[in-house]
Amino acid sequence: MPPIRALESAALRLITESEEASSAARISGRGIKSSSSSLSASVIQERGSKQAMALKEHLGYLASRITNLSKCLKVLHSGLPNKNAFKTLIAAEYSGVEVQVVKNFQMGVSNKTPEFLKMNPIGKVPVLETPEGPVFESNAIARYAFQDNVKLSKVQSPLSFFLSTSNSSHINASRFMFTEELAISSLKRGLEALSTHLASKTYLVGHTVTLADIITGCNLYNGFTRILTKSFTSEFPHVERYFWTIVNQPTFRKIIGEVKQAESIPAVPSSKPAARPKETKKEEPKPKVEETAAKPKEAKKEAKKEEPKPKVEETFEEEEAPKPKLKNPLDLLPPSKMILDEWKRLYSNTKSNFHEVAIKGFWNMYDPEGYSLWFCDYKYNDENTVSFVTLNKVSGFLQRMDLVRKYAFGKMLVIGSDPPYKVKGLWLFRGKEVPQFVIDECYDIELYEWTKVNTDDEVQRERVNAMIEDLEPFEGEALLDAKCFK
């Protein structure tokens, strides 16, 4: 029976029961009135109070049934398994809200019906049907299902933060239009941010599961079960530990069952039609001498008909030429006389007399028309009070800069023998500005003050030399560490 019909039927039953209770009360009242002459006033009052109390309790029971019925009337329109549906079902399970899942839901069919489009004109899944009206978008549905749980008030900030970085379905695809490496780099950036947040935490907020953990765990579910193999996720141990902690919670396991990590990355299916296999010519039995002599003309005609067949097959098997990938904007710049890989090899292979060989070699190669040099200074050095935390911060920054490795060379120095430590860097970029796609993708960029090097200034050139060479002391202070990006 459809949910709305079920509510109507139940409501009719409740009304009938209520009317029966009222009739009973009226009959009892008349009985009390008719016999009032023979009963004392106190007895009449006592009986009336009992009847009123019984009616009050019955009406309270009816009200609770109506409330429970309204709570049950939450229907989730989605197929299973579906990570976005899991968010709602797990949140509802934690909150004690009953949610029914539509049976036999077919994606591409059920969500195209007029009834579904009336609830969500866009046709997106899932949709939660409620007495107050439909709710769509998975995170909004999860919030709705969790709305009576006091934990919700504690999760808005981390929830909004991580949803903007980890949910692959919400990543701005236009930022990945140049190379596949950009997509991988952005995924690593999101996981690195989460790993950093979880370094000293079991859950995103507090000491128990919140709505933030429900949504984040479900967002990670598809990745871990489909494409993120152990060799990839091992780079983010805090994320690994967090994910397995979340999905092994009893409430999670009740909804999603046992979770197994992907063992290999599935091949991307080709959108091109499969080529028809070449037909092998069957060897025909040699005709007898008599038949050959009798039908020479027919044999020639058949041979002529078979000649064009190979041409038809060749035409069919020709595949559409693959469309060229859109190039990175830096690849469209005019050619430069500086070959970045040659400089990186010179830097790596120079083991002695570094200043005379590598430093002079750099300035001989440097092309101010094709490349630019930049100093970067961390804006919040007063926060760098713990040495290993500061070093990890720099390592994370270099990891997130991986998307520009083909077009850049960098040196990052951690300066000082005592806290707070200073973080300064030197970067060589292709082009005359810091690449825009790096600014868009690497959030660490805004944590540094960027100053373009004036290579005509001898003082600035000497500072560049000192940073490339890891010269110590640097600007009068000891070096705690020096890291190279190449």
Residue 40 pLDDT more than 60?
no
Beta bridge partners of 355: none
Q: Average pLDDT in the 461-467 region?
A: 96
pLDDT per residue as tens digits for the range 90-130: 988 888 888 889 888 888 888 888 888 888 888 888 988 88
Residue the block writes with tokens 């999760």 = 155
Residue 47: which pLDDT band, with cuts at 50, 70 and 90? Answer: low
Residue 186: which pLDDT band, with cuts at 50, 70 and 90? Answer: confident
> What's the residue count for the chain?
486
pLDDT per residue as tens digits for the range 136-182: 888 888 888 776 554 443 444 444 444 444 444 333 333 434 445 66
Closest residue by Cα to residue 216 from 87, 76, 81, 79:
87
pLDDT at 142: 85
CA geometry: angle 108, 114, 119, nearest 5 deg: 90
Residue 453 pLDDT more than 50?
yes
Per-residue b or e along 248-270, where b marks 16 or more CB atoms closer than 10 Å to that residue's CB: ebeebeebbeebebbeeeeeeee
Q: Which amino acid is at 79?
A: G
The total of other beta-carbon atoms located within 10 Å of residue 15's CB is: 11
Residue 3 pLDDT more than 50?
no
Stated pTM of the model: 0.44
Question: Could you give the CA distance from residue 449 to residue 481 in angstroms, rounded to a whole number?
Answer: 20
Look up residue 474 and give its DSSP letter. Answer: B
Residue 246: which pLDDT band, with cuts at 50, 70 and 90? Answer: very high
Q: Which helix (H) or strand (E) covers residue 481, if one does? A: strand 479-485
Answer yes or no: are the C-beta atoms of 411 and 482 closer than 8 Å: yes
Closest residue by Cα to residue 471 from 343, 357, 359, 318:
359
pLDDT at 150: 47
Question: Could you give the CA distance from residue 340 to residue 371 in angstroms, rounded to a whole number?
Answer: 10
Contacts of 290 (CB under 8 A, 6+ apart): none
Tokens of 33: 């009135």
Beta bridge partners of 77: 127
46-60, 75-89, 390-404, 420-434, range with greatest mean pLDDT: 420-434
pLDDT at 108: 86
Q: What percent of the chain has pLDDT over 90?
A: 36
Residue 408 pLDDT more than 80?
yes
Q: Is the CATH number 3.30.70.1010 carried by domain 340-485?
A: yes
Contacts of 213 (CB under 8 A, 6+ apart): 203, 204, 205, 246
On average, the pLDDT of the chain sits at 77
Q: Average pLDDT in the 429-442 region?
A: 92
CATH class of 76-256: mainly alpha
Look up residue 377 and give its DSSP letter. Answer: E
Q: Average pLDDT in the 325-345 region?
A: 90
pLDDT at 157: 43
pLDDT per residue as tens digits for the range 270-311: 545 555 555 555 555 555 545 555 555 555 555 555 555 544
pLDDT at 260: 92
Domain positions in the chain are: 3-72, 76-256, 340-485
pLDDT at 4: 46
Residue 477 pLDDT more than 80?
yes
The total of other beta-carbon atoms located within 10 Å of residue 459's CB is: 7
pLDDT at 59: 61
Residue 486: which pLDDT band, with cuts at 50, 70 and 90? Answer: very high
pLDDT at 153: 39
pLDDT at 318: 43
Radius of gyration in angstroms for the set of CA atoms belonging to the chain, rounded to a whole number: 37
20-24, 153-157, 287-291, 449-453, range with greatest mean pLDDT: 449-453
pLDDT per residue as tens digits for the range 159-168: 444 444 444 4
